[in-house]
């Protein structure tokens, strides 16, 4: 107590080091995710191959579009669920949330992440039940009324299964792998997928963090905005792409051009995002001086000033407050505040010596808002992101059909599986690691745990973070168009499996058409024989 008032100190002092018992619960989460990944991964590659084998060639793009749309609707619902869970405190039920002094906009806030796992686990069990009732094989679509063809097809399938059992899986595996590795279109497509998937994994994974740091949104709001603005256009684009392929009977070569040029248009629109920027949050001692002037972000430690030098404030504590002068401070102590009124998130700090205003200097919990102009920039960014998502998803189905139609029918399952494996291993795993390391290099202030260990980053240099978030994916995607143009050149001179050299259309059902013609010829021949026999008897 000084002069009847209480000098405010941060609620958490890094010097109070208490040895905590390390928990191994993360191992259970890791093992659970591994098991879930093993179960979910075969669904997409094998399911798409399943559709491609038993659907008409002109209908399969539409069906695959519906499957891909379902794969987007799930994340859409998941993001809405995550937005709800992020607004609930992680220890809800065990602590009194009314006593909390942080809000969801605070970087120290941890949402109830575990709640989403419980809900998704129950849903996964329910959705797994229908897969047990799928038949092992289906009649080719469009040939249901021809019993002879279905019967012959079943016999052929049985002979193939018996042959596979005798020869073993490994006998066909190596020749199929050699055939796929020697297929230039297939290998170039895998290269494109790896590079582009690296870019999109980075953008989608760190988009909530980008919206937080660039536009000052909370984690829950950022997740909600992504789900509303990005995922519905992707769903519409997938269905529209499948309908276009079905309606106009797009050939493989035409699909390759559509996918390439639409993707290039979206890539050029991506550069407009560099114009939709906001300034760094004004934090005294980090991005601005205590007089409100911009300062060099890497000049060293300027956290202490004359107004708070005698307050004995810890310089590593992050408990931000927003002064009524529009400047944020790392803590109420560093703002020079002497008294506080209220409790919880409604606490107001008064008599702050570092806040220079004409009237009573005061501060409230949390960082200051970035203003109306930044909110407008956020709207422009989200609208452009929605347009880009629609254009790119419109090109996804034609591009995917190039992958399916450039390989032989008997190699389709292995080819789709190998494509999925390569994108997951060479893009899905390493991309968040190296991109996260690059993003951390733009950190301006690290949180410090009780025992002096480095914690999470509290504030980033938004300009450099923007260059990495937007620039690195742009560079990766730019290099992917080199193999894309090579594919277009190769397709001009190459005859794909099951393609008619005259018309250029894919005849996936040639085998079944031949069987149908053969059965018609047999019927005609039998009819001629019966007529000759009748004439002989007469």
Mean pLDDT for all residues in the chain: 79
Q: What is the pLDDT of residues 232-249, one digit of tens each?
A: 898 899 889 988 988 888
Per-residue pLDDT, averaged over 157-173, amounts to 58
Q: Which residues pair with 59 in a beta bridge?
A: none
- Strands 321-323 and 362-365 come out as antiparallel
pLDDT above 70 coverage of the chain, percent:
78
Q: What is the pLDDT of residues 353-386, one digit of tens each?
A: 888 777 778 898 888 888 889 999 999 999 999 9
Q: Indicate if the pLDDT at residue 13 is higher than 70.
A: no
Q: What is the pLDDT of residues 108-117, one digit of tens each?
A: 777 888 888 8
Between 20 and 290, the higher pLDDT residue: 290
Q: What is the pLDDT of residues 117-145, one digit of tens each?
A: 888 888 888 888 887 887 776 666 665 55
Per-residue pLDDT, averaged over 90-95, amounts to 77
pLDDT of res. 485: 95
44-128+176-279+372-493, CATH topology level: Growth Hormone; Chain: A; (1.20.1250)
pLDDT of res. 167: 53
| C-alpha distances in Å from residue 394, one per residue of 261, 390, 483, 519 | 11, 6, 20, 41
Q: What b/e sequence results for 335-360 when a residue is b if at least 16 CB atoms lie within 10 Å of its CB, and e otherwise?
A: bbbbbbeeeebebbbbebbbbeeeee
Q: Indicate if the pLDDT at residue 468 is higher than 90.
A: yes
Q: What is the pLDDT of residues 415-436, one digit of tens each?
A: 888 998 899 899 988 999 999 9
Between 469 and 521, the higher pLDDT residue: 469
Domain ranges for the chain: 44-128+176-279+372-493, 282-369
Q: Indicate if the pLDDT at residue 289 is higher than 90.
A: no
* Pick from 99, 71, 81: nearest CA to 343: 99
């Amino acid at each position: 107590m000084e002069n009847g008032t209480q000098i405010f100190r941060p609620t958490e002092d890094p010097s109070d080091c208490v040895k905590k018992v390390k928990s191994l619960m993360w191992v259970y989460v890791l093992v659970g995710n591994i098991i879930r990944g093993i179960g979910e991964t075969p669904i997409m590659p094998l399911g798409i191959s399943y559709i491609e084998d038993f659907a008409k060639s002109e209908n399969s793009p539409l069906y695959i579009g519906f499957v891909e749309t379902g794969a987007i609707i799930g994340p859409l619902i998941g993001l809405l669920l995550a937005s709800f869970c992020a607004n609930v405190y992680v220890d809800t039920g065990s602590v009194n949330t009314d006593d909390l002094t942080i809000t969801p906009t605070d970087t120290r806030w941890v949402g109830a992440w575990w709640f989403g796992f419980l809900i998704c686990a129950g849903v996964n069990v329910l959705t797994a039940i229908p897969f047990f009732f799928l038949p092992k094989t289906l009649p080719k679509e469009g040939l249901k009324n021809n019993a002879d063809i279905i019967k012959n097809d079943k016999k052929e399938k049985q002979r193939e299964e018996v042959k596979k059992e005798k020869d073993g899986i490994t006998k066909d595996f190596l020749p199929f792998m050699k055939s796929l590795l020697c297929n230039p279109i297939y290998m170039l497509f895998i290269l494109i997928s790896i590079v582009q998937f690296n870019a999109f994994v980075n953008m989608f994974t760190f988009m909530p963090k980008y919206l937080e740091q660039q536009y000052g949104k909370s984690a829950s709001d950022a997740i909600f905005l992504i789900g509303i603005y990005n995922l519905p256009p992707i769903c519409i684009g997938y269905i529209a792409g499948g309908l276009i392929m079905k309606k106009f009977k797009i050939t493989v070569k035409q699909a390759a051009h559509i996918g390439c040029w639409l993707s290039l248009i979206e890539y050029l629109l991506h550069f407009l995002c560099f114009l939709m920027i906001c300034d760094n949050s004004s934090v005294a001692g980090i991005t601005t001086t205590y007089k409100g002037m911009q300062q060099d972000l890497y000049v060293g430690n300027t956290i202490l000033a004359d107004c708070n030098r005698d307050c004995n404030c810890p310089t590593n504590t992050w408990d931000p407050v927003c002064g009524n002068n529009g400047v944020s401070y790392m803590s109420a102590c560093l703002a020079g505040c002497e008294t506080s009124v209220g409790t919880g998130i409604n606490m107001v700090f008064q008599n702050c010596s570092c806040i220079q205003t004409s009237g009573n200097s005061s501060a409230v919990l949390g960082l200051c808002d970035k203003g109306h102009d930044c909110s407008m920039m956020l709207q422009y960014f989200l609208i452009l992101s929605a347009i880009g998502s629609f254009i790119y998803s419109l090109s996804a189905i034609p591009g995917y059909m190039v992958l399916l139609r450039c390989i032989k029918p008997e190699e389709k399952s292995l080819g789709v599986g190998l494509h999925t494996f390569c994108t997951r291993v060479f893009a899905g795993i390493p991309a968040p690691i190296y991109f996260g390391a690059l993003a951390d290099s733009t950190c301006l202030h690290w949180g410090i745990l009780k025992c002096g260990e480095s914690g999470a980053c509290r504030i980033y240099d938004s300009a450099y973070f923007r260059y990495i978030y937007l620039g690195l994916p742009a560079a990766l995607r730019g290099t992917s168009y080199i193999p894309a143009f090579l594919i277009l050149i190769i397709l001009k001179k190459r005859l794909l499996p099951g393609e008619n050299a005259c018309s250029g259309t894919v005849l996936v059902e040639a085998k079944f058409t031949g069987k149908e013609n053969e059965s018609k010829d047999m019927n005609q021949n039998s009819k001629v024989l019966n007529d000759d026999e009748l004439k002989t008897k007469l």
